[in-house]
Every structure is written in structure tokens, then in C-alpha cells.
A = this chain, B = another copy of it.
Amino acid sequence: MSEALTSFQEYLKKMNYYRRVISLLDWDMYTQTPRKGYEGMADAFSYFSTEYFTLATSRELEDLLDKLSRQEEFDQLSPVMSYTVRTMKRDMERDKRIPKDFFTALVDAQSASRQAWQDAKQAADFSLFAPHLEKMIEMTAKKCAYTDPGREVYEVLLDQYEEGMDSATIDRIFEELKEGLLPLVSQILAAPQPDSDRFRGPHNCNAQKEVQDLLLRYIGFSHDAGVTGESEHPFTMGFSNGDVRITNHFREDDAISAMFSAIHEGGHAIFEQNVSPDCQGTPAEDCCYMGIHESQSRFYENILGRNKNFWIPVYPKIQKLLPAFQDITLEDFYQEINHVQNSFIRTDADEVTYCLHIILRYEIEKAIFRDHVPVSGLPALWNQKMQEYLHITPSNDAEGILQDMHWSAGDFGYFPSYLLGSIYDGMFLNALEEELGSVDKLLANGEILSITRWLKENIHQYGSLRLPKEVIASVCHKELSAKPLLDYFRKKYTEVYHL
């Protein structure tokens, strides 16, 4: 091994130690830090984030990357190392243009903004959050101007979460989807609806945790390489492929929500647990393409989890753990988990109207960064689009524009990933069935782990090594299109709602 490569790998190790404690502080703040201990954790988070930034933009790292990028060195590198050197060099060239003071100010502003968003949401008062949102928009634009001078801000943001995906492509497929969905939703809503009241429990929260463990094991999550925690909003956080963590939120009146959060986050976690060990300790070890990442969580949650056959092997066990389900047949349960309705909250939405929730956010993000709509005008824009796509108007901003935390942390451009994930899923489903045969049959036979293996083989193991476009091309051998997803919706809901 060359001297430069040895030094680089040592340097990478050190960066990983910092990343690890930053993640651990974050994990702790979300899952367990007591109220009075929060500030101390947040200060440490800010300190180590800045230290990490210094490491990631140091002259020393730049030199190492330069050396390893020379043709004769680069040609010797393993595929994982060449990916690592290439992407780190690109990121360093962008990031080193960010002044360190600005970076620290951004971390601190994010922290204050997240806090303000929480307060504003609790009080259902957008005015408490508005100045922070303004600041996040301004600082995000400024950050993009540093990293990608001359490029349009929103394109930079999209690229950051789904490399190679531009707004022209997204516009095209989202339009295609919107045109197909709006009439389908109208048709569904005109049909008779199931009675949701029967599902309100109460369901013991400890029993729900047992259901979660059962579902996670069922879909292929390894408890040796992951743990579960609790937080206000469910999320997944990976430390390595040997330690991937998910959280959930349990409520006595809604066991179904926690089940589907478990399956969704479990899907993210299985992805990270399944990344090849070769990628460990490098940027390839977790998937940095959020559309691809979401495609896996949503594949488990929707394509598999909202399929009736998924439940055949496990529903009786769930009925034992949650006695309130004993009087509910699998058929009725299936109807409820596919109950389409126009609702306010994205995370509670069914898989069909969910798409419209994302399209709305995507259009508002474009309005912010492209049309420069002022922050004061955003709640009205939100409500107008809710009316247009879902025919309902939030009674306050907590169930409207304040519902999601993403913008409070400056995560603009992330939302489209969710829907891209579903669009990819339509295509993956076709590819999977071509190879393994009917998903219905596999699930009904209790062979869900053969699906997990297929996903590992075709998608998970590569981590970040393949770009989203490359994943689609190699798995589906087709151009990106929303048609498979639309076809899946039409076929499924014609049957569910007897259309």
C-alpha cells in the first residue's frame, strides 16, 4: 500500500471517530437527553460538528486527496477507495469555500431554528417560526453560493439529496403522476369507505413494542446489528452496518401508525445493515441518495407492508399481542391500512394521497428558491395548494405548514426524495416480479426474506457506490417513469375499493 493511501486511511478513521460522536450526540438528544441536559449536548454537538468540518476541509486532507487522485495512484485503488477519493475530493472542493465562521453560525442557527419550530408547532403559531425560516432560507442560499457559485440554488439542493436528479426530470414525472392521481383519488373517494373508529384501541404501548420487534424480525432486520429507541418522530440512524438504529413513537389510540413506522424505518435499517463490509468506514457505507434510501423504506412499508399477503403469516400473532385486533378480520385490517382519504398530515397519509403531499411541498420549495415568494406568504400558498390537491383547508398552521421538521433544519430539497422513492418502487416491483415471480405468492408463502435477499443483492450491498440513475438502469433496464407506480395504484385500488 502506498504511503499516501496509508495516511489517508488513518485520516479517514479519525474523521469517522468524529462522525460517530456527532451522530451519537444527535441520537441521544432525540431519544433520551433530559430537558435540562439538552443545552450541554447541543453545545458539544456544535463543537464536534465544527471540528469535523475543519478535518473535512483541511490542507492535510486536500494534499492526500491530490496525491491519491494522480492517475498512477488512482488506478491502483479498489472500487470503494476510488469512489471514496473521488467523492471526498469533490466535496472538499465545495466545502472548503465555506468560511468556518459561517459553518458554525449555520449549525447554531439550525439548532435555534429546530427549537423555535417545536415551540411554534406546539403553539400552532407560524409567526414564532417565520424569522427562523427566513434565516434558514437565506443561509441555505448563501451556503449554496459558496459551494456551487453560479448554479441555481434549488438545483444544488436537489443534487445534494439525489445526485444527478434535476428539477426538469422531477417536473416531468411528478406532472405525469399528478395527472394520473387526481382522477384516481376522486374515484376512490366516491366509493364506500371503511370504518376507522374500530381501530382506536386502547392498545398497550409495551405490547406495541413487542409487535414492532416481531415485524422487524419478520422483514429481516438484525437485532444483533441494530437497536430500537423512542422519539417524537420516527427516524433511522446508522453508525456502521453493525449498528443501525431506528426509533418509533407509540400511542395507545393508534397501533397501526407505529406498525407502519416500524416497517418503514426497518426498511431503511435493513438497507444499511446489508451494505457490503468492503464499504465500511468509507462514505459508501451508508446510502447518501435519499430517493434510493426512501425507495427501500417505502418498498417495505407500502409495496410489501400494505399488501394483504404480507400479513398472512403474522396477523394471528399480532392479534395475540394486541387483543383489540381479535375481533378484526385480516380483510378488514387490509381495508383499513389502505384507507385512502384526504388528510392534513403527510406522515399519516395513505400511500396514494401521500404523493400529493409531496408534490405540494416540492412546488412550495420551488416557489421559495425560484420565485422568491416571501416567508409571510407561505402559509397561504400551502393552504391554497391543499385545497387544490386535497380539497381541504387546515384549521391552523400546526396541521398545515408547520407539520414537518425538515425546513426547520434547512433540509430543503429533501421532500422530493420520498416520492422519487415510490416512483422507483413501482419500477423495482416490476423488476423483482420478473425475476422472482409474484410478490403476492412469495408473501403468502412466508418467503419475505427471499425478497429482502433480492433487494440486498440488487440494491443494498452497493451502499452509495452507484448513482440513482445507475441503480435504476442496472436493476430495471428502463428509463425513469411514474407509469409503473400509477399502474400499481390503479390495479390495487380498483380491487381494494371495487372500482
CB atoms of B36 and A17 under 8 A apart = no
Q: How far is the CA of A14 from the CA of B46 in the complex (A)?
A: 12
**A48 in contact (CB, < 8 A):** yes
**Chain A residues numbered 195-244 whose CB sits less than 8 Å from any CB in chain B:** 206, 222-227, 229, 239-243
Which residues does chain B contribute within 8 Å of A34, judged by CB atoms? 223-227, 242-243
Which residues does chain B contribute within 8 Å of A229, judged by CB atoms? 32
State which of A18-26, A130-138, A341-349, A380-388 sits at the interface with chain B: A18-26
Which residues does chain B contribute within 8 Å of A35, judged by CB atoms? 224-225, 242
**Chain A residues numbered 1-50 whose CB sits less than 8 Å from any CB in chain B:** 14, 17, 20-21, 24-25, 28, 32-37, 39-41, 43-44, 47-48
Number of A residues contacting the other chain (C-beta, 8 Å)?
33
CB atoms of B240 and A37 under 8 A apart = yes
Q: How far is the CA of A277 from the CA of B55 in the complex (A)?
A: 34
CB atoms of B242 and A36 under 8 A apart = yes
Q: How far is the CA of A32 from the CA of B36 in the complex (A)?
A: 22
Which residues does chain B contribute within 8 Å of A240, judged by CB atoms? 37, 40
Which residues does chain B contribute within 8 Å of A28, judged by CB atoms? 24, 28
CB atoms of A44 and B25 under 8 A apart = no
Q: How far is the CA of A21 from the CA of B227 in the complex (A)?
A: 20
Q: Which of B17, B37, B41, B241 contacts A225 (CB 8 A)?
A: B37
Known: A37-B239, A37-B242, A240-B37. A44 touches B21 (CB 8 A): yes
Which residues does chain B contribute within 8 Å of A227, judged by CB atoms? 32-34
**Chain A residues numbered 31-76 whose CB sits less than 8 Å from any CB in chain B:** 32-37, 39-41, 43-44, 47-48
Q: How far is the CA of A227 from the CA of B36 in the complex (A)?
A: 11
**Chain A residues numbered 226-269 whose CB sits less than 8 Å from any CB in chain B:** 226-227, 229, 239-243
Which residues does chain B contribute within 8 Å of A223, judged by CB atoms? 34
Q: Which of B25, B222, B225, B226 contacts A24 (CB 8 A)?
A: B25
Which residues does chain B contribute within 8 Å of A222, judged by CB atoms? 36
